[in-house]
Structure 1
């Protein structure tokens, strides 16, 4: 952890973080995680198990959407403006009436325990220390109440996968309100899980082992469904076949993941019934725009929708009263062959015409990426896989260094690009073809 004396001074975040790293280098101390994005990814994935590595690294189908995300960033180039006074820089942004020190949020990532046992709790502590708002996942490895306790006063939103059971959706939203969430983020692009080849080749779905379903097993509405399932005798098939070693390992893992005592869980039907119930109620494939009215009746929190790519969907979202939009293709994990998220951003921004904030997600790997997304109209950007790589390498400290690194590099990028505030970042900071109008 960084001590109070190590905290960067206001207005010089990038320089101070950079200088702190170099000063520690004099004594032979290096960062806990690589600052190079490619090396961070390589080492972060290498630190995970084969199954975890597959789950984190895989995209839908051939992975072409993941490639499209990166290609979209590469098509845009930054155009620095020189001889400007950039001695005082303001990296802060305002979202829904609250000002945050940087344009970064921690994107919702499920099953963080695949990277580190402390999972969401470690990320929450890192986000709190770095001043980065956290979007708590429906598929977290810890209950939202426990995550909120680690966040302290740090801004938190709740990401909602819309269950087929209204009672579970309503219960999730009430709990999110009670823990002080500032918004509800409805993910629309995961009504079904995509064809994820590495997971399929590993025959690995973490939820089937009770991983990443802590929001559900801690929820009274969901537990009532489980109790009904157990009482009806529909808690899973019984078999007299001799169990395989893999089946025994799965049973042990499930007993460890489920709340309660390990020995009790080994002989109880509840853990398996919880998994089966989750698999049954996880998503609602019948969800339409009109369902947002039902959600609006149940919360006063701002409602954002995540996963939009088409301008017409943005217009439909506005017509149905959303308060914000997150342009995303789920990090390339849902639809193979989709356009890069950055390619979708300008059309959505134009369609919203400034009526609601448009945030950006998918493919972000460095501060220059964030700068490009902001220049194309994003109000803020969400960091995803990079902080999970940091978590895998060094737990809370690793995630914290990733958050601090993004903030520091962004501050320095602003200075070098010749801007002093996020509002100064616009289309004139970019070129799409490497040639500016008027150049010969």
Structure 2
């Protein structure tokens, strides 16, 4: 068995049951969460032969930041439940693999401590009903060296979870959330997610931070084009790990439409959701993604081996991608094109 395939079971033995359940579960009936990996497994390839693959180069840039491998770490919350050093350990492990981490706005580690690892990072943000809370977090992230802002746009309300037994919120330890916000200043209503957003929020975020803005949660080509026209530097094809609208299509199916809609623009395309193998990464890049993001696997790796586990995960996926590139007849991610897909 591949180490990656064993990670969730190993993590389950180390995490409190409500935490493990929270990390793995989808919303409602769990349909979207359950079918994500199978959607990537269903893709087939048309490899090209008699091409020079003696030298493989996995490096690329993401919103202007160089990375050694086109596999980034997606934003996830409650990382200090997985490892005492939480987001700082996740960042350190990511940096050791030459990649980039997206940090949740719910992080239980200060942005300053994350920035101190030296790993390039983006801030994932929700816009709160009280914009002052959002501004406070944005300013703290800019001061700590964030390279971009990722707006999660698919969460006007939080998708319902069908829990049985104690929930994670009943066992979470104090201080494991919102380390970058003076919570006492805001009510729960203040911190509720804004449900009145339009494309103009992209310009507001860019003006406030001076950073590239990417929109996460895009599953349609027309939405992707609206984001691009509003100034988005990138879109992330995502169904929130199946944690929002249950029955939302798999990202493997949504990606080609989004990439086609953005062809000819400068807006970069990324994808997350169910990517577990180098061949999955190969398929995503051939469809038009600049890089992919992994969420749950990084949490499992952090839970099992801490920062070195995150490094191992990214290195293993990079090695598998290297192998797959050679077998499909391409020497680097930029050379991947949709004609390689069957």
TM normalised by structure 1 equals 0.73
**Aligned position for 2:169:** 205
Matched, 1:391 2:302: yes
TM superposition shift of 1:164: 1.4
**Which SS does the other structure have where 1:363 is aligned?**
coil
Deviation string for 1:294-343 (max 9, x for gaps)? Answer: 32331221010000111121122122221110000011111111110111
Q: Which residue of 2 aligns with 1:308?
A: 218
Q: Does structure 1 residue 158 correspond to structure 2 residue 129?
A: no
Shift of 1:37: 3.3
CA contact (8 A) 1:161 1:282 kept: no
1:84 corresponds to: 51
Residue among 285, 291, 295 paired with 2:195: 285
Matched position secondary structure for 2:168: coil
Contact 1:45–1:57, Cα closer than 8 Å, also in 2? no
Q: 2:147 matched to 1:185?
A: no
CA distance in 2, matches of 1:410, 1:131: 15
Q: Paired residue for 1:343?
A: 253
8 A contact 2:81–2:172 mirrored in 1: no
Structure 1: distance between partners of 2:168 and 2:300: 20
Gaps of 5+ in 1: 1-33, 226-276, 432-440
Further displaced range: 200-209 or 123-132: 200-209
1 or 2, which has the higher helix percentage? 1
Q: TM-score, normalised by structure 2?
A: 0.93
Q: Which residue of 2 aligns with 1:136?
A: 103
1:214 equivalent to 2:174? Answer: no
Q: Distance in 2 between matches of 1:122 and 1:41?
A: 18
- Tell me whether 373-382 or 173-182 shows the greater mean CA deviation: 173-182
CA-CA distance at 1:171 after TM superposition: 1.7
CA distance in 1, matches of 2:338, 2:121: 30
Residue 312 of structure 2 aligns with which residue? 401
Q: CA deviation at 1:370?
A: 0.8
Q: Which residue of 1 aligns with 2:271?
A: 360
Return closer, same or farther for 1:289/1:67 CA change in 2, 3 Å cut-off: same
Q: CA RMSD in A?
A: 2.0
Report if aligned partners of 1:364, 1:384 keep a CA contact under 8 Å in 2. Answer: no
Distance (Å, rounded) in 1 between the aligned partners of 2:188 and 2:45: 45
Residue deviations 1:153-202, cap 9 Å, x none?
x321111111111111112111221112111000011222211123x543
The separation in 2 between residues aligned to 1:333 and 1:45, in whole angstroms, is: 19
SS at match of 1:306: strand
Match of residue 418 from structure 1: 329
Q: Which residue of 2 aligns with 1:167?
A: 132
Farther-moved stretch of structure 1 (342-351 vs 71-80): 71-80
Q: Structure 2 unaligned segments of length 5 or more: list them.
A: none
Counterpart of 2:7 in structure 1 is 40
1:71–1:340 Cα contact (<8 Å) kept: no
1:30-87 alpha-carbon deviations (Å, 9 max, x no partner):
xxxx744332222223321111111011001111101232232122112333333211
1:290 deviates by 2.7
Q: Could you tell me how far apart the structure 1 residues matched to 2:166 and 2:159 are?
A: 15
Distance 1:287 1:140 in 2: 23
Q: Write the distance in 1 (CA, Å) between the matches of 2:284 and 2:86.
A: 28
Where does residue 16 of structure 1 map in the other structure? none
Instruction: Give the distance between the partners of 1:353 and 1:81, measured in 2 at CA.
Output: 24
Which structure has the greater CA radius of gyration? 1
